[in-house]
Structure 1
């Protein structure tokens, strides 16, 4: 099978998808924005050909590049696993008659108001939402559903650009912050615990599925530097009855949006109003969550993703042997990282359960809170018991301190 893979070099874990495809027996053709000489030799060696373009989201130039490849070899699949690339990839597939995620599905997974409207039509519970082209439309929506409200770009990934507003004054300030955006998504604020449900689906059915929890919820995590936020992939998916509702909701979402053979990432809330779907990406989760799934389930998830693409089946089941999670550690101020406290204590107490650690060198610029979970220091851990893992991650966040000057 000949597979075109979009942007094989960046971000760095993209090369793992290329590795997986090559090991699954695919002939890989890469299309990316970087010069060939900037790709490491191992990555180059796993591709039959690498084609450079100026912008992998420019549909016309991408279509030309793919057609150039098609003139030389048959192309069975074209794959993109970065949120910003998925819509352009779908349009190129359609232009070049290549199987895979359709333009309709990619659009519904990117455009949040359209996504929620499609899901409400089939009975999936979601927050009230609207696409607003003017400030007055947002104010009208606020008058209908009340506060708090959530405002976000229509096609953003995760919490990127998302703000909560609790009243008219905050709404005016938030709308000014969106600047020249032609359209934004406005949503009812849903109270409750936040998590995500991810799958590797084959022909619309989840061959693998994973449930993860945020502590605290994402917007809370992005509000204060002192918080050391976590997310944890549970290993209780098959044994806790409550997860059955999440898994069934995921299947309904996939059917409604036309998901076929693809990774998916779905956000959800559970609170006083019950389970509510938040949004979906037709791609793997960010923040290297797949690494946690692999560690917790004794699989090479990149190879299994490739098996799904190339062979239409995975080779190994999920062990559910360990829960796996990450705790993000923020510097105590702006400037540059100056040092750490508590590193030795964390290693002594939890060393056997630590998967990996990232501690940027002193002198590294401290990144802002909104830069995300892996922007500064972090620790990833595994343990057979979910509750024990959560308490260990709490302890790491309380013990390991990052200083900045």
Structure 2
């Protein structure tokens, strides 16, 4: 990894908590090191962290006060373990940014009578069909959606909605199994892909596939703090999508002064969606499409964003989103005022075709080019990289972070950063 000397530590929890009397946060799941270590490093400045995970910690250990081995997909087991822990060490809050485990974290917070998201609301975020039903009942602007259990049902739904349509699994993440179908022939392969997509940790419902109206216009994500049901958008990420007809997120740009932060229609849809889902106290990652008829909701996730969005947002705004999440669940007052006014972008690098990595290196002999903040490798020799739809996210071999005064300036710096990375491998048939 190559990184500019500039650090995020100057905005990471400074002066918030007496380090001699640190509150204890219960962390449900830790995620991957590349994706989430910066959060633990930041939150660990102000809080003691106790990890619940199904195995002993590895890279996380340096940030932990302790850990408990427990099945973090079993709400009852997690609640029982949390109650036992609370008998010996007062728990100030329950923190979780793991998409699959946020329902369990909500159950634990509720059992401990701590600030939290609302269990039913979190379940509606995880199960996109339940979420669609709640949002439709409240009249929230969103695509027409139908849950289907067969190809024939998918055909009927697509005819009723009108092509193009989007098919997606009802409870996965990272755009896995999400594909656009422009007509009946494409629908067959799209349905096969969406219906076969799965995560080992998530049980499949019989009506596993959603057929939805395709929304035109650019896609954004909004990171928000929700306190007692009131939503405050903190920053917006402009998405770069690739590998059509799939929706792989290949990059994100955050600008501190993005005008959409104050857009009344964006704010209205955000608040209406959170209210419809009954979300209470948490941070959220909400995806919207800016259509010709106004912003329409793609989905609400009861967690902070992935893909290093909070990281680049902190570079652009100075807002430490991990600390916002921690302070909210601990009943504190998060620091949500921007202290920077820049723009930052993260771009993920993919091979031209599927390959087995033989060498992957990054030039480190010279200073980084202007506008380049970081270049980080995400793979190693022996790794197989497969492009969507064969793999999503796992096909990336590096990421680059660029900074500047505008999105155009950040994007202009990406090629010089990408040229620092050298990938070679054997093509996969």
TM-score by length of 2: 0.79
Q: How far apart, in 2, do the equivalents of 1:251 and 1:152 lie?
A: 25
Q: Deviations over 1:83-139 (max 9, x none)?
A: 010122223444554441111110121121222232233332111002223433322
* Aligned match of 1:315: 335
Q: Deviations over 1:144-185 (max 9, x none)?
A: 112222111111124122122222233233333414752222
SS of structure 1 residue aligned to 2:414: helix
Q: Does the 8 Å contact 2:387/2:395 carry over to 1?
A: no
Between 1:350-359 and 1:318-327, the stretch displaced more is: 350-359
Whether 2:407 is the aligned partner of 1:383: answer: no
Q: How far apart, in 1, do the equivalents of 2:205 and 2:308 lie?
A: 29
Whether 2:27 is the aligned partner of 1:5: answer: yes
* Aligned match of 1:250: 270
Q: How far apart, in 2, do the equivalents of 1:15 and 1:258 lie?
A: 30
Q: How far apart, in 2, do the equivalents of 1:16 and 1:215 lie?
A: 23
SS of structure 1 residue aligned to 2:49: strand
Cα displacement (A) at 1:278: 0.6
SS of structure 2 residue aligned to 1:336: strand
Q: Deviations over 1:42-86 (max 9, x none)?
A: 223xx2x31112x31122322332232234344342221110101
Q: Does the 8 Å contact 1:21/1:307 carry over to 2?
A: no
Whether 2:179 is the aligned partner of 1:155: answer: no
- The 1:286–1:373 alpha-carbon spacing in structure 2 relative to 1, beyond 3 Å, is farther
Whether 2:157 is the aligned partner of 1:141: answer: yes
Whether 2:103 is the aligned partner of 1:78: answer: no
Q: Does the 8 Å contact 2:96/2:102 carry over to 1?
A: yes
SS of structure 2 residue aligned to 1:279: strand
Matched pairs, number: 392
Cα displacement (A) at 1:316: 5.6
- The 1:52–1:121 alpha-carbon spacing in structure 2 relative to 1, beyond 3 Å, is same
Whether 2:381 is the aligned partner of 1:363: answer: yes
Backbone CA RMSD of aligned residues: 3.3
Alignment gaps of 5+ in structure 1 = none
Cα displacement (A) at 1:399: 9.0
Cα displacement (A) at 1:299: 3.8
Alignment gaps of 5+ in structure 2 = 1-22, 197-203
* Aligned match of 1:56: 72
Q: 2:52 aligns with which of 26, 31, 36?
A: 31
Q: Does the 8 Å contact 1:201/1:260 carry over to 2?
A: yes
- The 1:374–1:234 alpha-carbon spacing in structure 2 relative to 1, beyond 3 Å, is farther
Q: How far apart, in 2, do the equivalents of 1:320 and 1:132 lie?
A: 46
Cα displacement (A) at 1:301: 3.3
Q: Does the 8 Å contact 2:256/2:338 carry over to 1?
A: no
Q: Where does 1:96-175 land on structure 2 (aligned, <5 Å)?
A: 97-175=113-191
TM-score by length of 1: 0.84
Q: How far apart, in 1, do the equivalents of 2:30 and 2:261 lie?
A: 39
Structure with more helix by fraction:
1
Q: Does the 8 Å contact 2:56/2:69 carry over to 1?
A: yes
- The 1:243–1:320 alpha-carbon spacing in structure 2 relative to 1, beyond 3 Å, is farther
* Aligned match of 2:5: none
Q: Deviations over 1:213-255 (max 9, x none)?
A: 12236755757xxxx9422112332x46884432332222222
- The 1:385–1:373 alpha-carbon spacing in structure 2 relative to 1, beyond 3 Å, is farther
- The 1:181–1:78 alpha-carbon spacing in structure 2 relative to 1, beyond 3 Å, is same
